[in-house]
Chains A and B, each alone.
Chain A
Amino acid sequence: MKTRDLSELAARNLREAVLRNSLTTLGVAVGVASLVAMLSLGIGLQTLASQRLTRSGLFDAVFVTSQRNFRGPRRPPAADSAHKQESRALDEGVRQQLAKLSSVTEVYPQIRFVTDVRCAGKSETTSVLGLPDSSRSSGAFEGMTGAYFSSPTADEAILQIEFAKVLTDQPPALVGKDLTLRYAQRAALQKSAAGDSSLLENMMGSTMPGGISIVPREKTLRIVGVIESDPSAGIGGFGGARVYLPLRTAEQLQAAQPDDFEAFLSGNPGKPSYMALTVRVHSPKDVPQVETAIKQLGFATFSLLDATKSLRLVFTVFDLFLGLFGSLALTVASLGIMNTLVMAILERRREIGIMKALGATDRDVRSLFFAEAGAMGLLGGFFGVVLGWLIGQALTWGTTIYLHRQNLPGVKISYVPWWLGLGAIGFAIIVSLVAGLYPAARAARLNPVEALRYE
Chain B
Amino acid sequence: MPTAPMFIQAESVSREYRLGETVIRAVDDVSLTVGKGEFLALLGSSGSGKSTLLSLMAGLDRPTSGAIRVRERSLAELEADELARYRRETVGMVFQSFNLLPRMTLEENVELPLRLAEVDRHDRESRVGEALERVRLGARRRHHPSELSGGEQQRGALARALVNRPAILFADEPTGNLDSVNGEQILLLLREIQDSLGMTIIMVTHERPLAERFANRIALLSDGRLVSGGAQG
Report A's interface with B, CB cutoff 8 A.
Answer: 1-2, 5, 9, 12, 16, 350-351, 354-364, 447-449, 452
Q: Would A359 and B118 count as touching, CB distance under 8 A?
A: no
Residues in chain B near residue A448, CB distance under 8 A = 60-61
B residues in contact with A5, CB < 8 Å: 115, 118
Cα A2 to Cα B55 in complex, Å, equals 27
Q: Which B residues lie within 8 Å of A358 (CB)?
A: 87-88, 93, 112-113, 116, 160
Chain B residues numbered 81-96 whose CB sits less than 8 Å from any CB in chain A: 81, 84-85, 87-89, 91, 93, 95
The listed residue with most B CB atoms (<10 A of its CB), out of A16, A357, A359, is: A359
Which chain B residues border A16 with CB–CB below 8 Å? 103
Please state if A359 and B87 are interface contacts (CB–CB under 8 Å).
Answer: yes
Let me know if A361 and B113 touch, CB within 8 A.
no
Decide if B101 touches A354 in the complex (CB within 8 Å).
yes
> Within 8 Å CB of B91, what residues of A?
359
B80 near A362 with CB under 8 A, answer yes
From A1, A354, A364, B99 is in contact (CB under 8 Å) with A354
A363 and B103 in contact, given A355-B112, A449-B55 (Cβ under 8 angstroms): no
Contact among B80, B99, B117, B118 for A350, CB-based, below 8 A? B99
29 contacts across the A-B interface (CB closer than 8 A)? A1-B115, A1-B118, A2-B115, A2-B118, A5-B115, A5-B118, A16-B103, A356-B60, A357-B58, A357-B95, A358-B88, A358-B112, A358-B113, A358-B160, A359-B85, A359-B87, A359-B89, A359-B117, A359-B164, A360-B88, A360-B116, A361-B80, A361-B81, A361-B85, A362-B84, A449-B55, A449-B60, A452-B60, A452-B95
Measured between beta carbons, the chain B residues less than 8 angstroms from A1 are: 115-116, 118
The CA of A1 and the CA of B84, in the complex, are separated in Å by 12
Query: Could you tell me if A364 and B116 are in contact, using CB atoms closer than 8 angstroms?
Result: yes
- Closest Cβ–Cβ distance, residue B202 to chain A (whole Å): 15
**CA A448 – CA B103 in complex, angstroms?**
20
A-B pairs, 9 with minimum CB distance: A359-B88, A361-B84, A5-B115, A359-B87, A358-B113, A448-B60, A359-B116, A449-B61, A354-B99
Most buried by B among A350, A351, A357: A357
B104 cross-chain contacts in A, Cβ below 8 A: 12
Instruction: List residues of chain B with CB within 8 A of the CB of A355.
Output: 112, 116
Smallest beta-carbon distance B156→chain A, Å: 13
The closest CB in chain B to the CB of A365 belongs to B84
A447 cross-chain contacts in B, Cβ below 8 A:
61
Contact of A359 among B55, B95, B113 (CB under 8 A): B113
Measured between beta carbons, the chain A residues less than 8 angstroms from B99 are 350, 354, 357, 452
Chain B residues lying within 8 Å of A350, measured Cβ to Cβ, are 99
Cα of A300 to Cα of B226 in the assembled complex, Å: 103
Q: Which residue of A lies closest to B120 (CB)?
A: A2
Cβ of B83 to closest chain A Cβ, rounded Å: 9
Residues of A within 8 A of B81 (CB): 361-363
Would you list which residues of chain B between 38 and 71 have a CB under 8 Å from chain A?
55, 58, 60-61
A103 vs B87: C-alpha distance when bound (angstroms) = 73
Q: From residue A9, how far is it (CB to closest CB) to chain B in Å?
A: 8
Contact call A357/B116, Cβ cutoff below 8 A: no
Find the B residue at minimum CB distance from A364: B116
- The CA-CA distance from A362 to B115 in the complex, in Å, is 15
- B124 smallest CB distance to A (angstroms): 10
| Min CB gap A81→B, angstroms | 81
Please encode chain B, from 155 to 167, with 1 for each CB lying within 8 Å of some chain A CB and 0 for all others. 0000010001000
Q: Which residues of A contact B60 (CB under 8 A)?
A: 356-357, 448-449, 452
Asked, given contacts A361-B84, A449-B60, whether A351 binds B101 with beta carbons under 8 Å apart, the answer is yes
> Closest CB of chain A to B222's CB: distance in Å?
21
Minimum CB–CB distance for B172 against chain A, Å: 9
Contacts of A356 in B (CB 8 A): 60, 84, 87
Residues from chain A with a CB closer than 8 A to the CB of B117 are 359
CB distance from A443 to the nearest CB of B (A): 14
Residue in B closest to A362 when the chains form the complex, CB atoms: B80
Q: Report the minimum CB–CB distance from A319 to chain B (whole Å).
A: 45
A-B contact sample (14 more), CB < 8 A, given A357-B58, A357-B99, A452-B60 = A9-B115, A12-B103, A12-B104, A350-B99, A355-B112, A357-B95, A359-B116, A359-B117, A361-B84, A362-B81, A362-B84, A447-B61, A448-B60, A452-B99
Q: Which residues of A contact B84 (CB under 8 A)?
A: 356, 359-362, 364
A366 to chain B, nearest CB (A): 12
Q: A362 to nearest B CB, angstroms?
A: 6
A364 to B98, CA, bound (A): 22
Q: Shortest distance in angstroms between B63's beta carbon and chain A's nearest beta carbon? A: 12
Q: How far is the CA of A16 from the CA of B101 in the complex (A)?
A: 12
Residues of A within 8 A of B61 (CB): 447-449
Residues of A within 8 A of B160 (CB): 358
CB distance from B82 to the nearest CB of A (A): 10
The docked-state distance in angstroms from the alpha carbon of A138 to that of B57 is 84
CA distance A5 to B116 in the complex (A): 9
Contacts of A364 in B (CB 8 A): 84, 116
Closest to A363 in B: B81
| A359 closest partner in B (C-beta) | B88
**How far apart sit A355 and B58, CA to CA, in the bound complex (Å)?**
14
Cβ–Cβ < 8 Å partners of B101 in chain A: 351, 354
Neighbouring B residues of A452 by C-beta, 8 Å: 60, 95, 99
CA distance A356 to B85 in the complex (A): 10
User: Using Cβ atoms and an 8 Å threshold, which residues of chain A touch B118?
Assistant: 1-2, 5
Shortest distance between the CB of B111 and any CB in chain A (Å) = 9
Instruction: Give per-residue flags for B99-143: 1 if the beta carbon is below 8 A from chain A beta carbons, else 0.
Output: 101011000000011011110000000000000000000000000
Among B55, B60, B61, B164, chain A packs the most CB atoms within 10 A around the CB of: B60
**CA–CA, A195 and B138, complex, Å:** 126
